[in-house]
Structure 1
Amino acid sequence: MTAAYIDKGNLEDPIPALKIAPRPQPTPKEGWVKVKMQAVALNYHDIFTMRGLGMRPPKFPLILGCEGTSVLEDGAEVLIYPVMGNPNFKGDETLDPERHVFSEQVDGTSAEYVNVPLRNAVLKPRELEMVSAGVLGIAWLTAYRMLFSKAGLKAGQTMLVQGSSGGLQARITTSISRFLKSSI
């Protein structure tokens, strides 16, 4: 399978470390599934990985990408939930000391096929296109947590978000708006 990967990080000049070439496709571990990627979001997190940075040192070589959408073998369309950690951890998983995302400790989503824990293959809402749903991992979850967990925003309230005029942010905003309309 073809993948975007790096063999090692380079703190000063990360871009030349990027390779796009065939990589072996391992057999999924117990509790994991093989998915066919459809859309993958580029995230600044990938630059951190390419620089060799993370909460823990990345385990190279690594396929990049921490979010995206895919199709299961049965044809179900799913989005990839990026957060993994200790399955026995209780409470807010962002506080799990073993927490990590794809492309830090395990291969990421920038490949034709990816092995993911079954719990991380979340059914994609029908109303979202595959490309729009591809940004719901890191970018959307960060915005959602900021607005609803940290700021305490409630249905019907409004918040001004400055500096979110880029193309990706517009797509995220559209995705958040569609989700909120369908769930409130």
Structure 2
Amino acid sequence: MLRDHIRRDAHTTQLSLERQGIDLGLTIPEALDHLLAGHANADGEHVGIAYYTALQHVIDWSGSDPIDVGVYSKPSTFFGHMGDELGRLGVPADLLPLDFLFAGPPEGIPFHIPVPMAGYPAIGRLPLAKAEPLADAYTAVLDRVDDAFTYETRKIIDMMRVEHDEWQSALQHGHTMDTLFFSIQG
């Protein structure tokens, strides 16, 4: 049943691409079929977009709570600068936003998935065990963060606190989720 939902979303995304005249060299449903079969071996300049989009549909249907943080003309540039600012203020390197927002597919996938040529869509991930330390580290420097990054810093703090609390509640009820995923569209 879950696969039916994922396939439906992959098909809907493909129809949207076709209406826009976009050909990735591999359809999103085909990319999904490849991933489910245990490979991502199609060739082509844009197949990474198809694979990452299909994988995001799988992630979305695996317990995802979609939350929009905002719209950025160049997300990697913005969050890179934000990370430079947070790092300058003493936030540990493993908690800087660029590292987890653009971390890539889950490590447990036993085959290579081609990365989109332009870097988008991007998949990010953060171990849920880092949600509270991340919120604490960002809170510790919030009053010194450049105004250009205050809104996003607060948003991430709030999001991490909620995710940590939900994770703790889930663990008490026997759930074993351990990773928070991010989708960055370009």
Q: Normalised by the size of structure 1, how large is the TM-score?
A: 0.30
Q: Which has the larger radius of gyration?
A: 2
TM-score (norm 2): 0.29
Structure number having the greater strand percentage: 1
